[in-house]
């Protein structure tokens, strides 16, 4: 059955979103069709605003629309403990555990095993954080997969060389899983049970 072209176009656009299959895309498109046009405009504008204004904080990697970000600006946070994560979304997961230290996000969007090597990751800002002398402990919160393991070992080595204590999240996180999707309790336990590297 042929659909009206704008409807077909909307379904195609929705299909680029993760977890959205053809049936869900169609259901969402038909739902949008019933909304008042003002609400649809707000929805579309929220997507554009978010994409245009939100970016990773250059200092820590948290998603922000101002500099410094809300975490870097917060003086009540413990500057002596630095959590290293792979993605900005991992910070959102760590924040849910009640962690009150600071962050450094690697923003590595490639596969170490297949695409590139460790030297492709810009660690200069990380070294600067360590050399500031404020950081007493680095908590490695990398995903429990092969890339996470390679990175953890490498970071542990260069961090220990700066005479900063290195710990990593305790096991209990699902192997091959993503920190981002770990449930709050598992992640909090992994943080509390962190072990010296
Ligand atoms: Zn920040």
Residue 126: burial class (beta carbons within 10 Å; 0-12, 13-18, 19+): buried
Q: What is the 67 CA–ligand 1 centroid distance (Å)?
A: 7
Instruction: Name the pTM for this structure.
Output: 0.75
Q: What is the 120 CA–ligand 1 centroid distance (Å)?
A: 22
Q: Given this model, what pLDDT does residue 119 score?
A: 78
Confidence of residue 9 (pLDDT cuts 50, 70, 90): very high
The string of pLDDT tens digits covering residues 54-108 is: 998 988 989 999 999 999 999 999 999 999 999 888 999 899 888 999 999 988 7
Rounded to the nearest 5°, which phi and psi values hold at 139?
-100, 115
Residue 121: burial class (beta carbons within 10 Å; 0-12, 13-18, 19+): middle
Q: CA nearest 95: which of 181, 168, 196, 188?
A: 188
Q: What is the 180 CA–ligand 1 centroid distance (Å)?
A: 18
Q: Given this model, what pLDDT does residue 170 score?
A: 77
Q: What is the 131 CA–ligand 1 centroid distance (Å)?
A: 17
Looking at 12-140, which runs of residues are DSSP E strands? 55-56, 63-64, 81-85, 102-105, 137-140
Q: What is the 73 CA–ligand 1 centroid distance (Å)?
A: 7
Q: What is the 60 CA–ligand 1 centroid distance (Å)?
A: 4
Q: What is the 100 CA–ligand 1 centroid distance (Å)?
A: 13
Q: What is the 82 CA–ligand 1 centroid distance (Å)?
A: 12
What domains are defined for the chain? 5-53 (1.10.8.420), 56-196 (3.40.1360.10)
């Amino acid at each position: 059955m042929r659909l009206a072209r704008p409807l077909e176009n909307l379904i195609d656009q929705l299909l680029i979103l993760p977890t959205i299959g053809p049936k869900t895309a169609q259901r969402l498109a038909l739902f949008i069709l019933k909304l008042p046009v003002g609400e649809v405009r707000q929805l579309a504008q929220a997507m554009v605003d978010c994409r245009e204004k939100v970016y990773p904080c250059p200092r820590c990697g948290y998603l922000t629309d101002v500099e410094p970000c809300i975490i870097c600006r917060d003086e009540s946070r413990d500057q002596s403990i630095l959590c290293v994560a792979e993605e900005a979304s991992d910070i959102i997961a760590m924040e849910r555990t009640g962690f009150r230290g600071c962050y450094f996000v690697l923003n590595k969007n490639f596969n170490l095993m297949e695409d590139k090597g460790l030297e492709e990751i810009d660690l200069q800002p990380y070294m600067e954080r360590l050399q500031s002398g404020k950081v007493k402990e680095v908590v490695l919160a990398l995903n429990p997969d092969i890339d996470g393991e390679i990175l953890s070992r490498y970071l542990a080595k260069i961090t220990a060389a700066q005479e900063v204590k290195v710990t990593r999240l305790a096991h209990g996180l699902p192997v091959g899983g993503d920190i981002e999707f770990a449930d709050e309790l598992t992640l909090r336990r992994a943080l509390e049970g962190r072990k010296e590297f």
